[in-house]
Amino acid sequence: MAERETGEPPVEVRDESASEAAERLNHRLIGPVVFWLAIVAALIHLYFNTFSTISTLWTSALHFGLFGLICALTTPMLRARSATGQRVVFGVDVVLGLVALACAFYLIIFEDDLYQRGVNFNTADWIVSIAAVTLILEFARRTVGWFIPLLCMIALSYVAWWGQYIDGIFNFPGLSWETVLFRSYLGGQGMLGSIARISWTYVFMFILFGAFLVKSGAGDFIIELARCAAGRFVGGPGFVAVFASGLMGSVSGSSVANTVSTGVITIPLMRKAGFPARFAAGVEAAASTGGQLMPPVMGAGAFIMASYTQVSYLTIIGVAALPALLYFISVAMFVRIEAKRSHAVKLEDDEAPSLKEVMKDGWHFLLPLVVLIAALIYGFTPTYAAGIAILSVIVASRLSRHPMGIRDILDALAMGAKNITTTAILLITVGLIVMVVSTTGIGNTFSLMITEWAGGSLVITIFLVALASLILGMGLPVTAAYIVLATLSAPAIYNLIAQGQLLELLMNGNLPEQAKAIFMLAAPDQMALLNAPMDLATAQQLLAVVPDTFSSQLLEQALSPATLSMVLVAAHMIIFWLSQDSNVTPPVCLTAFAAAAIAGTPQMRTGFTAWKLAKGLYIVPLLFAYSPLITGDFTEMIRVFCFALFGIYAIIAGLEGYLEHQLPPLVRLVMFPIGALMLWPHGQILLDGAGLVIFVAVLVWSARRGRASPALAQAARVDS
């Protein structure tokens, strides 16, 4: 039987700041103050998102002020060793929090005066702008570490100071500090810009919705539903972890929170069934990471993507569903193979609840999700839909044995506000980086540089973005890493995918007439080639003669607006998926570390196991780039999904050397080209079918070998 690591003590990581924060929240005076402040903040944001007509700039300022105050009260500036020191630190934190709130009110009260002066700073403007930027950097340091504050300071100083001393493409003549501070805070382009608006609208409402679901008892229902749906299969506890993490992640949007909430149940279940401890932790980490890919929340990524691409939120979560399902099934494939190899046992009949019992006690928990989807389809904005769904949680709870009372509602409001504090601070801070990128044009420069490094190759570009996301992910949370990378590299990936579709039109001789007019201007001597199919080399040569100044016009004339929109979504989805790899990739993989602490396994070894199980994070983005999994019609998407399912299974079998039984070395080696054949975007369904037939034949042969050696399996089970 595979090695178990049950003898190793749990890995406990002490966070003194977190300990101090817990002491504050449990304090008899501070705790209630934070509780009621969080409730007030939640109610104010509900008003902002439903009935308010005040400007988005003022709302963003209050968002910063309120959550800056909550952050200051709940996350201490430093760890004090003595009671006197704790009181001093708390006093300083109170002052800093109130200053953040005062900065917000200053902008609201004196905004008109600033513009009447022609945006010329007076002394108060200087003080408030510097204070606001300094405070958000300090709050970011407390919540997510030093990396983001340092990155922001480097970026702001680049605009105002040292950018002018750099030679080459990154030279920037510079702006005055007055202009930089205005754009950072008072002008609403940095801290209070589009990223902050996403924070106080979509992100807040859906995190609050998740808090209401959890408080109503939906979390327990999800785990019980997963147990009754998958628990009785061989290796069922592993499937429970995958299923539960997918359902929980669809509303929580946080991989670490997902790991902690479901892992305390699923990891012991997996170990009890016979899975190695490290594998159990890796499954939970990989599955919980997938929770950020699962609609509707997607770790705030869906909302940011909708803002960046100007594609509706409903469309984005619609195209994200099949890829997310593909990822979770890929993790389940590893579970199936390990269950067979480790001879994992089924849960006993009395250990898993029946579906009838679970649905009888908790069917009403599904109603809010139905209401949410129905409201989105009906045409409500995501914020209104989330607000209606929150009300439906309260109403649906009346059908349960423990309906939500006033205290439960207040607890849910406070929980939601506390849960979003770190995310709000993070998004407000990242707005500074986005402002610098847009002000300097460094995003376009970076995209051109990536394209040049990659030599126009899409796969090399994706590899470079994956490498950059891994490096950024060591210091940035995944949402921040996605925002930074999307700002810098999305144009490069978008252009390469769109050019790939344009080349396909040229090769098939289907270029629209309006696009041919561009060639008439750029290369009139080549017009004869456009009326017939051509090979790839000719198409590439023809496209190369079009000047860069006409390239965007050519794409707009050749491809429909709907196609270009979905190509842009595909580019952002590639970056978003790749930004998740830092959750499970050593040396910094917080989700894997959280699972390791529960399982009592070595952190780094657990990280490598989780990284292996999360291979879908790298395979599926290639499908976004080279197949119609996102950009095609429904029939094309389903075809790609089905063949990709078996293609990934074949590659996993090659990696593990196992299906239903141990694979001989030659058969194991064959699994890689068979899987690649079903994944490769050659457009030939006969080749896909041939690969599928070969794989199914190997699967059936392996299953027969497994059934032919029951004595061996029984002996291994007894030895375990």
Q: Which of 158, 192, 226 is the last residue of a domain?
A: 192
At residue 222 the predicted structure's pLDDT band, cuts being 50, 70 and 90, is: confident
Most confident stretch, 10-14, 311-315, 568-572: 568-572
Q: Which of 192, 226, 258 is the last residue of a domain?
A: 192
SS3 400: coil
Q: Are residues 304 and 351 in the same domain?
A: yes
> CA neighbours within 13 Å on the CB side: how many for 334?
25
CB-CB contact of 145 with 474 (8 Å) = no
Q: Are residues 647 and 702 in the same domain?
A: yes
What is the mean predicted confidence (pLDDT) over 127-153? 93
Q: What is the pLDDT of residues 24-55, one digit of tens each?
A: 777 778 889 999 999 999 999 999 998 888 89
Q: Are residues 246 and 107 in the same domain?
A: no
Percent of the chain with pLDDT over 90: 43
Backbone angle region of 299, left / alpha / beta, with phi > 0 → left and psi within -120 to 50 → alpha:
left
Q: Are residues 540 and 686 in the same domain?
A: no
> What is residue 58's predicted lDDT score, i.e. its pLDDT?
95
d(CA 446, CA 444): 5
> What is residue 359's predicted lDDT score, i.e. its pLDDT?
82
Is the model's pLDDT at 18 over the cut of 60? Answer: no
Is the model's pLDDT at 22 over the cut of 70? Answer: no
> What is residue 133's predicted lDDT score, i.e. its pLDDT?
97
Q: Is residue 53 part of a domain?
A: yes
Q: What is the pLDDT of residues 296-334, one digit of tens each?
A: 777 677 888 888 898 988 899 899 999 999 999 999 999
Q: Is residue 335 part of a domain?
A: yes
d(CA 141, CA 155): 16
What is the mean predicted confidence (pLDDT) over 514-533? 80
What is the mean predicted confidence (pLDDT) over 447-452? 80
Is the model's pLDDT at 718 over the cut of 50? Answer: no
Is the model's pLDDT at 9 over the cut of 50? Answer: no
What is the mean predicted confidence (pLDDT) over 664-678? 94
**Lowest mean pLDDT segment, chosen from 235-244, 566-575, 599-608:** 235-244
Mean pLDDT of the chain: 85
Q: Is residue 608 part of a domain?
A: no
> What is residue 92's predicted lDDT score, i.e. its pLDDT?
94
Count up the domains in the chain and report the number.
4
Q: Which helix (H) or strand (E) holds 392?
A: helix 382-397
Q: Are residues 379 and 472 in the same domain?
A: no
Q: Are residues 347 and 400 in the same domain?
A: yes
pTM over 0.85: no
Is the model's pLDDT at 349 over the cut of 60? Answer: no
Q: What is the pLDDT of residues 82-104, one digit of tens each?
A: 888 888 999 999 999 999 999 99
Q: Is residue 576 part of a domain?
A: yes
CB-CB contact of 490 with 571 (8 Å) = yes
> What is residue 695's predicted lDDT score, i.e. its pLDDT?
95
At residue 710 the predicted structure's pLDDT band, cuts being 50, 70 and 90, is: low
Q: Are residues 208 and 148 in the same domain?
A: no
- Residue 237 CB partners (closer than 8 Å, separation 6+): 231, 266, 269, 270, 272, 273, 275, 344, 347
SS3 276: coil
Is the model's pLDDT at 236 over the cut of 50? Answer: yes
Q: The domain containing residue 242 runs over which residues?
A: 196-404
Q: Are residues 184 and 231 in the same domain?
A: no
State the burial class of residue 710 (Cβ atoms within 10 Å of its Cβ: 0-12, 13-18, 19+): exposed
At residue 352 the predicted structure's pLDDT band, cuts being 50, 70 and 90, is: low
Helix segments in 192-273, DSSP class H:
194-198, 204-216, 218-230, 236-252, 255-273
CA angle 612, 583, 300 (to 5 degrees): 130
